[in-house]
Structure 1
Amino acid sequence: MRRDDSVTNPDASSGRPRTGHPDVLVFLTDQQRWDTTGTHGNPHGLTPVLDRLAARGLDVDRSFTCQPVCAPSRAALQTGRYPTDTGVFRNALPLPPGTRTLAHHFGAAGYETGYIGKWHLAGDEHTGPVPEELRGGYDHWLAANLLEFTSDAYQTTLYDRDGAPHTYDGYRADALGEAALEWIRRERERPFFLFLSFLEPHHQNSRDDYPAPHGYRERYADPWTPSDLTALGGGNAPEHLAGYYGMVRRLDEVLGRIVDALDERGTLDETVILFTSDHGCHFKTRNDEYKRSVHDASVRVPTVLHGPGFHGAGRLPELVSHVDLPPTLLDAAGLPVPARMQGRSLLPLLRGGAEPPWPEEVLIQVSESEVGRALRTGRWKYGAVAPGADPWHDASAGHYTDAYLYDLHADPDELTNLVGEPALADVLDGLRARLADRIAASGEPRPLIGPAAGQRGH
């Protein structure tokens, strides 16, 4: 329900009149596994600030990207729509000009909107500066389209609204955090919506490395290794996990500075904070790079919400998709959720139930490595691929065949593919039908889904 926009009480610390709408901050990391956090059992204490926010707010225990690659997942987070519906079904595709984003919805409600960091929604022809028509409607702009190519761990270049470069020394995550703090601390008469987008803990593309701050890799020289990486072997986790953990630790420190700044202003508990990541990381154990697979290592991410509507909400058991987060932010800010959004706000779940009932699965789209679709339920991971489809040029397909089936209760690390087991034929039939339903609901034509050629049990 829309709240009244009239001024209510003054903010004593900033002198800014407060309205019925809270400030809103998105803290987006890149390629961060869910199990890097203390709330999900990581023993290294990498995320004490995030863990405190989760304890005080809402810990979305089972949160999943709807596409495990940068641009498509970011398009979903900006729009609340599936990547194929936005047109950004793979990297290197721009978000079409005129697409309604969170910036448009918050801006129309009187918010001052800002974007800082990595954008990755302007196509590959724009590396640094982003033309105005491809910025998603944000007012304040300090970003690079492909931050991985305009920066390194200790050298960062961002571009303002005029396309002018701003170069920062120091560690990259610190630079983005300081830019955000400068903007947050400004005197303003309107509430703000800030989308802060980091590159960490994504690898540095130019040298396929995970460059932690000086001394941080050494802190985790004997790292705890998630069980899927241990069981699968191969990959490059032994080489890179220490640096990856160091990057995660520094991100949490930056989050702590922002939380402290909001606390100092007296607005922390009045600010909606969303922490999430665009996708996970399997360290080259599932294919020849880091994501682009249906496995939880690629698709499961940490997600925490804190602030009005989320205080004391605890741990959410339902499965949540990235497309659910934009409507949740609008709802938490007291703004209407556009019918065009394909996700649903989480807030009704916290108020005692959602009507209609919350879905029992999330839909995952896969591009670039394969034209694939998958369902992640509480027990099953089912994935299908389109035989003969071109994963770079084909957004979808009319025919898919079985490719993956994991019993997550018995096999949480997804080590044994059961797709050809005759005893599970009925399970497969049900999952095929559910997947076809979800594909159709996402806006694609309903496909045919069946067994692969020569599949056992058929």
Structure 2
Amino acid sequence: MRGERPNVIVVFTDQQRWDTTGVHGNPLDLTPNFDAMARSGTHVTQAFTPQPVCAPARAAIQTGRYPTATGTYRNGIPLAAENRTLAHCFGDAGYATGYLGKWHLADQEPVPADQRGGYQSWLGANVLEFTSDAYRTIVFDEDEQSVMLPGYRSDALFDAAIRFAADHVDEPFYLFLSLIEPHHQNEVDSYPAPTGYVERYQGRWLPPDLAELGGTAHRHLGGYLGQIKRVDEGLGRLFDALRSLDLLDDTIVAQTSDHGCHFKTRNSEYKRSCHDASIRVPLALRGPGFDGGGAVARPVSVLDLPPTLLAAAGVPVPDAMDGRSFLPLLADARADWPEEVYVQVSESEVGRVLRTDRWKYYVVDPSADAWDDASGLSYVETALYDLANDPYELVNLAGSPAHRSVATALRGVLLRRMAQAGEPTATISEAPTPTLELGGQRRVDPMVHDGRYVPTRFGHQPGPNG
């Protein structure tokens, strides 16, 4: 390896469901390059966003902190300058740092230098979907001058990433490549794929939640999947370029997304819900420290990616980060690690999510203002899903007497996670008993010991533990 410090590239898609990848069982061969990276490198099989909406998720991945901690808990709130980002950490360690694509953490367009999170090289737009469309990509450089990048939009940004790598062959670099695909084009509410790609995928595959719930997938999924296919082709070109530059073995590459997409099945738009269609994302890494890492099966938050990348590069991890490096899980699947992830929801409502291997527990504060309040004080149980038996979250068990002890155990863990995130002390009220209770159920009864959720002997999967 050239020197002792690896290069780092993050490929960040927008609104990509986890089940669009082959390693998660998608049958359409959309992501062969991502899949190869996951199989030969490290695949985080259960990865979740800390917030299922653009700006808060982006603030979290830049800082390793929860959206309520950064102050960017919803769209429209710029990332405060006092937040220390990955660019600051890598830059202070002697890395050249660069940002390409969508930012969504400023309040101006073009993004002024003091709102760029410390990135040295800049070619981006605050809200790329407003400055560009599929074949007309307009971004702004360090001098706030507009630049038109030729080609299909994701191709144009991958081309820029390849140029950045070629320009920094002789020094360690950290690059954040932020794509808009497979996000919809807002003004026309469509998913513009490259010419001919919609026809390849329209009507060929439908995940069970969308098959059951409908939404807009029948008209949008072909374009959405076509966008993902083209992104993966760009990833393959990036790998080819790194190999050509003799950088492939020296470079950590990670790909993930800000949130998923439920195609207007859970609310009136595409995200901002507690369901896996909104919060579960793909995550794979390759390169030094990750090649041959295998599958990480424990639930991991994208909030854990920043400290993981810093640790893998030998760069100090700030104490202020809420996330933690998952490198220990690569060496030992039994390493100390929480059995749950914690997710905040804003804008649609003020909600909080606990997601374990088996359970999804969701609470909402109906008295909180979803736009003005970062947190709530009086939450109510709103959803409980048994993911072992209902993986696409079609049967809400909130309030079910048969699951009361499960909900009570999860409530204690969620309150602890809220406190650990620095949120104000809150209460969670029980959900009312459903009018029609599922008949014939035995009681599902986890054991709780010393404030920790422990699975019973009778076939339960691990629950929150820590």
- Does residue 361 of the first structure (1) align with residue 345 of the second (2)? no
- Cα pair 1:110 1:191 within 8 Å, conserved: yes
**Is the 2:399–2:431 contact (alpha carbons within 8 Å) kept by the matching residues of 1?**
no
Q: CA deviation at 1:351?
A: 2.0
Note if 1:32 corresponds to 2:37: no
- Number of residue equivalences: 436
User: Partners of 1:169 and 1:209 in 2: how far apart?
Assistant: 21
> Of residues 187, 209, 212 in structure 1, which corresponds to 2:190?
209
The 2-side partners of 1:69 and 1:51 are apart by 25
Corresponding residue for residue 113 of structure 2 = 132
Equivalent residue for 1:442, pick from 399, 408, 421: 421
1:413 shift after superposition: 0.7
Aligned residue for 2:379, secondary structure, equals: strand
Distance apart, 1:452 and its partner CA:
4.1
Distance 2:61 2:251 in 1: 19
Residue equivalent to 1:91? 75
* Residue 226 (1) aligns with residue 226 (2): no
Amino acid at match of 1:249: K
Letter in 1 for 2:323: G
d(CA) in 2 for partners of 1:346 and 1:329? 9
- Unmatched tracts of structure 2, length 5 or more: 438-466
Counterpart in 2 of 1:306?
286
Matches within 5 A, 1:405-444: 405-444=384-423
After TM superposition, give the deviation of residue 454 of structure 1 in Å: 7.0
Q: Please name the residue that 1:3 is paired with.
A: none
Q: Secondary structure at the match of 1:55?
A: helix
* C-alpha displacement of 1:443: 1.1
Of residues 141, 146, 170, the one that matches 2:151 is 170
The CA distance in 1 between the partners of 2:395 and 2:431, in whole Å, is: 17
1:365-408 per-position Cα deviation (integer Å, ceiling 9, x unaligned): 00010100010011100000002111011100111110000000
Among 152, 158, 175, which residue is 2:139 paired with?
158
Asked whether 1:47 is paired with 2:31, we answer: yes
Q: Paired residue for 1:386?
A: 365
Q: What is the identity, as a one-letter code, of the residue corresponding to 1:267? A: L
For structure 1, which segment, 185-194 or 381-390, has the greater mean C-alpha deviation from structure 2 after superposition? Answer: 185-194
Q: Which runs of 5+ in 1 are unaligned?
A: 1-8, 10-17
Offset from partner CA, 1:11-58 (integer Å, 9 cap, x none):
xxxxxxx32110000000000000110111111100011111111100
1:299, distance to aligned residue in structure 2 (A): 0.3
Q: 1:195 aligns with which of 169, 173, 176?
A: 176
User: Against the structure 1 CA distance between its residues 445 and 354, is the aligned structure 2 distance closer, same or farther, given a 3 Å change threshold?
Assistant: farther
Query: Of the candidates 277, 296, 319, which is equivalent to residue 339 of structure 1?
Result: 319
* CA distance in 1: counterparts of 2:431 and 2:125, whole angstroms: 43
Counterpart AA for 1:121: L
Q: Per-residue deviation at 1:316?
A: 0.9
Identity of aligned residues (%): 58
Alpha-carbon offset, residue 455 of structure 1: 6.4
What's the offset of the Cα at 1:446? 2.8
Structure 1 distance, partners of 2:420, 2:101, is 33
Q: What per-residue deviation string (whole Å, max 9, x for no partner) do you get for residues 156-209 of structure 1?
A: 100011100001232111111111111111145420000000000000001000
Tell whether the 8 Å contact from 1:432 to 1:450 is kept in structure 2 after alignment: no
Q: Report the counterpart of residue 63 of structure 1 in structure 2.
A: 47
Change (3 A) 1:227 1:353: closer
SS in 1 for 2:298: strand
**How far 1:349 moved relative to its partner?**
1.1
Native 8 Å contact 2:363 2:380 kept in 1 = yes
Deviations for 1:257-300, whole angstroms, at most 9, x for unmatched residues?
11001111222122111100000000000000000000000000
Q: TM-score, normalised by structure 2?
A: 0.92
Pairing partner for 1:259 from 236, 239, 248:
239
> Is the contact between residue 64 and residue 321 of structure 1 (CA under 8 Å) also seen in structure 2?
yes
The alignment status of 1:247 with 2:227, answered yes or no, reads yes
Distance 2:84 2:98 in 1: 15
Deviation at 1:338, TM superposition (A): 1.2
2:125 paired residue among 139, 144, 152: 144
Q: Is the 8 A contact 2:398 2:431 kept in 1?
A: no
Point out the more displaced range, 133-142 or 448-457. Answer: 448-457
CA distance in structure 1 between the partners assigned to 2:198 and 2:390 by the alignment = 31
